[in-house]
Amino acid sequence: MRLLVCNANTTVAITKLCADAARAAASPGTEIMEATPRFGPAVIATRAENAIAAHGVLDTLADHAGRVDAVVLAVSYDTALEAARAAMPCPVVGMTEAAAMTACLLGGRFGLVTFSAPALYRELLAAYGLAGRLSGIAMIGATATDALDDPDAVDAKVADAAARLAAEGADAVLLAGAAMAGMDRRITTTVPLICGLAAGTRMAEMLVRAGYRKPQAGSYAAPSGRASTGLSGPLAALLRGKGA
Amino acid sequence: MRLLVCNANTTVAITKLCADAARAAASPGTEIMEATPRFGPAVIATRAENAIAAHGVLDTLADHAGRVDAVVLAVSYDTALEAARAAMPCPVVGMTEAAAMTACLLGGRFGLVTFSAPALYRELLAAYGLAGRLSGIAMIGATATDALDDPDAVDAKVADAAARLAAEGADAVLLAGAAMAGMDRRITTTVPLICGLAAGTRMAEMLVRAGYRKPQAGSYAAPSGRASTGLSGPLAALLRGKGA
Amino acid sequence: MRLLVCNANTTVAITKLCADAARAAASPGTEIMEATPRFGPAVIATRAENAIAAHGVLDTLADHAGRVDAVVLAVSYDTALEAARAAMPCPVVGMTEAAAMTACLLGGRFGLVTFSAPALYRELLAAYGLAGRLSGIAMIGATATDALDDPDAVDAKVADAAARLAAEGADAVLLAGAAMAGMDRRITTTVPLICGLAAGTRMAEMLVRAGYRKPQAGSYAAPSGRASTGLSGPLAALLRGKGA
Amino acid sequence: MRLLVCNANTTVAITKLCADAARAAASPGTEIMEATPRFGPAVIATRAENAIAAHGVLDTLADHAGRVDAVVLAVSYDTALEAARAAMPCPVVGMTEAAAMTACLLGGRFGLVTFSAPALYRELLAAYGLAGRLSGIAMIGATATDALDDPDAVDAKVADAAARLAAEGADAVLLAGAAMAGMDRRITTTVPLICGLAAGTRMAEMLVRAGYRKPQAGSYAAPSGRASTGLSGPLAALLRGKGA
Amino acid sequence: MRLLVCNANTTVAITKLCADAARAAASPGTEIMEATPRFGPAVIATRAENAIAAHGVLDTLADHAGRVDAVVLAVSYDTALEAARAAMPCPVVGMTEAAAMTACLLGGRFGLVTFSAPALYRELLAAYGLAGRLSGIAMIGATATDALDDPDAVDAKVADAAARLAAEGADAVLLAGAAMAGMDRRITTTVPLICGLAAGTRMAEMLVRAGYRKPQAGSYAAPSGRASTGLSGPLAALLRGKGA
Amino acid sequence: MRLLVCNANTTVAITKLCADAARAAASPGTEIMEATPRFGPAVIATRAENAIAAHGVLDTLADHAGRVDAVVLAVSYDTALEAARAAMPCPVVGMTEAAAMTACLLGGRFGLVTFSAPALYRELLAAYGLAGRLSGIAMIGATATDALDDPDAVDAKVADAAARLAAEGADAVLLAGAAMAGMDRRITTTVPLICGLAAGTRMAEMLVRAGYRKPQAGSYAAPSGRASTGLSGPLAALLRGKGA
């Protein structure tokens, strides 16, 4: 099985970190491929960057349509998730969505640790219908870049934030940051700590094995016959119907 | 990996049907065990039967605590799910919960096909926080016993109901009935048809592979030092702390 | 009128405390009977104990079906409430449900004081549709056993917690613990303090006087013709249709 | 015990009908008094009439402050309920609120039969936090005046509407119209039919017997020291603090 | 264009303050008229005063029906808003509703600064369907009268409260008090500060320019043929259909 | 005042239609500019097209940052609205958001007429917190292209759909389609018909006149110092901080 770990920003170091976390979580026989958009924000932390990056994600995925068995989005805002899910011929999983669903399967409510933009996570989880299962969000006072540069210091901050969320009622804690990928293997708390890359990889494998049919109708059916201007060849082809 | 498919009613034919569906979905190397409660309702279709069956499920699971890697509840009401999840030392997955989470990962809203008791499913999904993702519930005008006795006729009714739900906006359809186990392999619709046994088996495998830590605090921590009267030895032991 | 105060755990001292609180609240002419399950947890504080106790409640109630005019559940988790309500031929009232409805009739939002398991109360009130009327939950740092052993000390803790909830916006405070029965007669706060046993007794009397018809359809109609294995004779009979 | 049945419109025939329904539901020893506002709409069917009638209700209640043990509002929009509850020194119950709370205690979801203005009932129940327990609203195609003039014809329409709501999933049906008072004693359906006057009378009796303390703080505390212009003497006095 | 700024209480100084704020916000060519009820509370701070004032508002508006192009309610509880909107032949805007809608158009969630009665604002915004966009409510520890007597001191308190709300996640802050009218021109915060009078004036102008048709059906259609007793001539006429 | 009407797809005829509708609604002295993205879908009808178009919108707006007083998005999915609002130094209004807010100010609930993708509108309005005010969505069985080619036929379909929504309880109806711009001037229903371009133009004028401060903190503050790759010069500059 081939899974594509697709970053939404252009920082290759984050792509590699995420792909490594995916490899550590994958079953034997799963090949993890990685991709980074050709254009877009270096790191996503604002609403505008997230919106722009959605195009970057779809542009990148179009290159792989039909050549991978599933996609895991390596971006904690689950950028372009629904669009990619509808357009691609294979399952697409978001790292925060997968982590949230995993937390639900473990029971109760979950907290979320993040570098920035708590409002965007609150909105994202509400859009998934999971607002009632979110116990709280903790900012850690560090950036994605800090996590790459000084992982030990950021690990300590994440551990503190996770412990605080657990004390306040979280039954599990989500690591909501692509640059936090793999921290679940280094940090221990009183409740499960869920890395979205690991969760997303396992959920993607699960969907590939299940082999569900692509919807033939509704807003998740593949686009067909849609015209466009100025997009990459593969992306324009995906809209015309290659993904069906 | 050993997964226990645990029925909540005392009809062994349903246990076998569900275990077969689990085996068809399981990965190579996963052993599917099966268990049926010693006491309780023959088939669950009412609130009282569901409440009584919760004890039967826990009584049955206590016999297997420490001897299986995960549990899949083979009952579409997810009877005793949260209690079993908290008490058992391993992951426990409900078939309808797993199907619903799988549907979410495929995108959009899901419909639900059932033999009876639509109110209980509406309440169940609301308790999971997923009321907003439920597009509708369709009763099929047949019983669980009918499904065992005349599967072709019931298949046709389920296919009709699923098609109707899809036409009304469902992006996926859940088979909410233990006696519907395996129907997803015989029926085709315009949207994915999700068997809870298959979904639950895959979600259970996923959680076992992930190896999340059991919560040490909160309402999903294992019971410890709890006294009881008149329960089976293993269940009393589970409350005293065997599951920790 | 005969009201049955039915405990859900096996601690007779709690049954007696609750029956006394019911007697203090009952109208002249109401006879308060009391019952304690033959099996189950000594005190309910975990999800598993609550699920097991549901069977104990129904088993106990089945002995009284047709011989009492209404039931008040003497357990603050309202264990097996909906199941008992559907199965029994008479009204069944939960102490926390009754207290919450009473608080609503007094106006505004209510707080809740509890020994343990705040998550279960939050979920319970959400299932009643009353999440928006809950202003907060306060744990008192004592157990049900403490309340039996040293009532003065626990009274003081409850008074503090209730005052704190009132200061934070509660227009009334619920005593969510069977072992808190009667505390409303000893503690004064700036807002009404509502004992579930007293509230439940009055609500049960109200329903008996009203004489509403038992639903003949839907999920609250009495079970009929349901087969079972290994249950007590009266409970099996109730499922077969004695309650109709 | 003295209960005041207070109409919100100026049609004395409706006041009498409601007072009779209250008397039929009241316990022995409960005296039912009746009051009709001096000014306001003849029958309430629009938003403006309902807003004006709130003043009429409070003006009327002020005359009785300190002289009755509780109030039942004989208007299905529960006009001025929260205001009256806060201002009066005794319990105040709304007929639709009481009917809805009673339906909740019977279990499941309720439907609502009305003459007009379904939007106002939907908003009212949402304000009570009970939107999730409302299964549907049925208009009967008749007016309050019709019910006074030709009760048999309107009874038949209400019976039809209630049956329809029950068939669509209501576990109980509320009679949302003061001019429907007493119909519950003439009509039979498969589910309980709840008259708000009867329910309100019983709930008011229950609150009087309970003797809850008036809140000393928050938005339900009695007004004190509030200045006004051009109001009736008793109403101005109530705002100045007579109700404390 | 003629806009009527209509106070809901009888304090003329507040009417003047609000009319001045409206004039400062109005476009050239907009004439701001002002009106104060003939009867009712001096200042609204309780549920009873708010209910009584609804009649005062409608009584006052009826005098102006057909003679103004739109109405702005100069009361932060938006007293009688829906009733006035339905009854009047022109647009009617509430100051808090307008401020909340404006905040939504600026993005994200808003906080609210108030003199008193936070419960009423929470309920008001929930009734508008905007509960999810309210980030918090801050009481300032001063009264409407204080704001008239010592504006500098109250300005400082409002500035502090607004800053606190912004720090806690508000993307905008509403001034919820008629006596806070105009403070937005004197106070600066890190997020937009929205005066309901200014917002309401602009929204009213917008609706007048748009010229939307009055609904001919539903609960916002004008009343017609409604009988009443003891109301002012213009108000009785409005209910009879003058507003159509 | 200069308002930019910015299309999200590349069909210039739709841009022109929308700009004309904006001009018809604008106040004297408002100059309507128009812009069409350089790349992206011809018409947006799917999730993928909408996600890609967000980049197109931001790319186009960046060219105008600092040179217009406000932006109206001429796309009924309000594509990139929150991102544009945060990134641009001026107010940005979405046509469907503006129409929905306008409908709220007229009172009650609104229906929505659309060419396609009802799921996306349901999700959009839920994200605005307005799910409870949406009475229903009607598909008209025609495309945006049909509206350009045969406006009379599509007008008739829209009129039918609007009438149906009004009959089912809508107090206003939104025209959710850029290609429906201006239909409100040709179609009459029993309730207000709201064109998003007209509503958006007026709301944008209102915000410009109000002159609210740009948030200095939170997720709607302008981006600053954000690095990117492969974006247009103006868009990269906007992320670096030109919009502050």
Is the CB of residue D86 less than 8 Å from the CB of residue D223? yes
Q: For the residues E165-184, what does the mean pLDDT come to?
A: 96
Residue A244 has pLDDT above 90, yes or no: no
DSSP secondary structure of B205-230: HHHHHHTPPPPSSSTTSPP-S--EES
Contact D84 E48 (CB under 8 A): yes
**Cα separation, B45 vs E113, whole angstroms:** 52
Contact B123 C123 (CB under 8 A): no
Chain A residues touching F239 at Cβ < 8 A:
41, 46, 48-49
What sections of C65-184 are H helices per DSSP?
Answer: 81-87, 95-106, 118-127, 144-149, 151-167
Residue A143 has pLDDT above 70, yes or no: yes
- Work out the pLDDT band at D137, boundaries 50, 70, 90: very high
Question: At B102, which amino acid appears?
Answer: T
Is the CB of residue C8 less than 8 Å from the CB of residue B55? no
DSSP state of F129: T
Contact B48 C239 (CB under 8 A): yes
SS3 of E134-172: the string is EEEEEECCCCHHHHHHCHHHHHHHHHHHHHHHHHCCCCE
Question: At C135, which amino acid appears?
Answer: S
Name which of D68, D58, D14 is nearest D37 in CA terms.
D58
Task: Report the pLDDT value the prediction gives residue A144, as an integer from 0 to 100.
Answer: 92
Q: Which of A60-64, C68-72, F238-242 has the lowest mean pLDDT?
A: F238-242
ipTM: 0.96
Contact D218 C104 (CB under 8 A): no
Q: Is F234 exposed, middle or buried (0-12, 13-18, 19+ CB in 10 A)?
A: middle
Q: Across the A/C interface, how many CB contacts are shorter than 8 Å?
A: 5
Q: Calculate what percentage of chain C has a pLDDT beyond 70.
A: 99
CA distances from E218 to E129, E144, E211, F18, F107 (A): 19, 37, 19, 31, 10
CA distance F124 to chain B (A): 13
Q: For the residues E227-237, what does the mean pLDDT come to?
A: 97
Q: For the residues F199-208, what does the mean pLDDT come to?
A: 98
Radius of gyration of chain F (CA): 17
Strands D2-7 and B70-74: unpaired
Q: For the residues A186-193, what does the mean pLDDT come to?
A: 95
CA angle B135, B139, B141 (to 5 degrees): 165
A93: nearest CB among B25, B105, B132: B105
Q: Across the C/E interface, how many CB contacts are shorter than 8 Å?
A: 5
Task: Report the pLDDT value the prediction gives residue D242, as an integer from 0 to 100.
Answer: 64
Is the CB of residue C187 less than 8 Å from the CB of residue C162? yes
Q: Calculate what percentage of chain D has a pLDDT beyond 70.
A: 99
Alpha carbon B99 to its chain centroid, in Å, reads 9
Task: Report the pLDDT value the prediction gives residue A79, as an integer from 0 to 100.
Answer: 98
Phi, psi of D194 (to 5 degrees): -115, 120
Contact A217 B131 (CB under 8 A): no
CA distance C192 to chain E (A): 18
Q: For the residues C54-79, what does the mean pLDDT come to?
A: 98
Residue E187 has pLDDT above 80, yes or no: yes
CA distance E188 to chain A (A): 23
What sections of A35-150 are H helices per DSSP?
Answer: 47-64, 81-87, 95-106, 118-127, 144-149
Is the CB of residue A80 less than 8 Å from the CB of residue A7? no
Q: For the residues D74-92, what does the mean pLDDT come to?
A: 98
End-to-end CA distance of chain D: 20
Q: For the residues A222-240, what does the mean pLDDT come to?
A: 97
Contact A169 C119 (CB under 8 A): yes
Contact C41 B226 (CB under 8 A): yes
Question: At A233, which amino acid appears?
Answer: G
* Mean pLDDT of chain D, nearest integer: 96
**Cα separation, E57 vs E49, whole angstroms:** 12
Q: For the residues D66-76, what does the mean pLDDT come to?
A: 98
DSSP state of B188: -
Q: For the residues A217-244, what does the mean pLDDT come to?
A: 92
Count of C-beta atoms within a 10 Å radius of residue D100: 29
Q: For the residues E191-213, what does the mean pLDDT come to?
A: 98
pLDDT in tens, chain B (244 residues): 999 999 999 999 999 999 999 999 999 999 999 999 999 999 999 999 999 999 999 999 999 999 999 999 999 999 999 999 999 999 999 999 999 999 999 999 999 999 989 999 999 999 999 999 999 999 999 999 999 999 999 999 999 999 999 999 999 999 999 999 999 999 999 999 999 999 999 999 999 999 999 999 999 999 999 999 999 999 999 999 965 4
Name which of E108, E26, E133 is nearest E72 in CA terms.
E26
Where residue E117 falls (left for φ over 0; alpha for ψ -120 to 50; beta otherwise) is left
pTM of the model: 0.96
Residue E74 has pLDDT above 90, yes or no: yes
CA distance D192 to chain C (A): 5
Chain A residues touching C126 at Cβ < 8 A:
132
Task: Report the pLDDT value the prediction gives residue A242, as an integer from 0 to 100.
Answer: 64
Is the CB of residue A76 less than 8 Å from the CB of residue A56? no
Contact C212 D101 (CB under 8 A): no
Contact B48 C40 (CB under 8 A): no
**Cα separation, A42 vs A70, whole angstroms:** 25
Residue E44 has pLDDT above 50, yes or no: yes
**Cα separation, B227 vs B205, whole angstroms:** 33
Chain B residues touching F139 at Cβ < 8 A:
none
pLDDT in tens, C122-162: 999 999 999 999 999 999 999 999 999 999 999 999 999 99
Residue C199 has pLDDT above 80, yes or no: yes
Q: Interface partners of F (3+ CB pairs, < 8 Å)?
A: A, B, D, E
**F and E touch per CB criterion (3+ pairs under 8 A):** yes
Residues of F with CB under 8 A from a CB of B: 118-119, 126
Which residue on chain C is closest to D83 by alpha carbon?
Answer: C107
Encoded tokens for D69: 């043990």
Contact A126 E132 (CB under 8 A): yes
CA distance A168 to chain B (A): 10
Residues of C with CB under 8 A from a CB of E: 108-109, 132, 169
Q: For the residues F139-159, what does the mean pLDDT come to?
A: 95
Contact E10 D119 (CB under 8 A): no
Q: Which of D72, D82, D106 to mutate to test the interface with C (most CBs of C within 10 A)?
A: D106
Task: Report the pLDDT value the prediction gives residue C167, as an integer from 0 to 100.
Answer: 95
**Cα separation, B205 vs B104, whole angstroms:** 18
CA distance F135 to chain B (A): 16
Task: Report the pLDDT value the prediction gives residue E236, as an integer from 0 to 100.
Answer: 98
Q: For the residues F215-244, what does the mean pLDDT come to?
A: 92
**A and D touch per CB criterion (3+ pairs under 8 A):** no
Q: Is F225 exposed, middle or buried (0-12, 13-18, 19+ CB in 10 A)?
A: exposed
**F and A touch per CB criterion (3+ pairs under 8 A):** yes
Task: Report the pLDDT value the prediction gives residue E242, as an integer from 0 to 100.
Answer: 64
CA distance D144 to chain B (A): 33
DSSP secondary structure of D68-120: -SEEEEESTT-TTHHHHHHHSSS-EEEHHHHHHHHHHHH-S-EEEEESS-HHH
- Work out the pLDDT band at D244, boundaries 50, 70, 90: very low
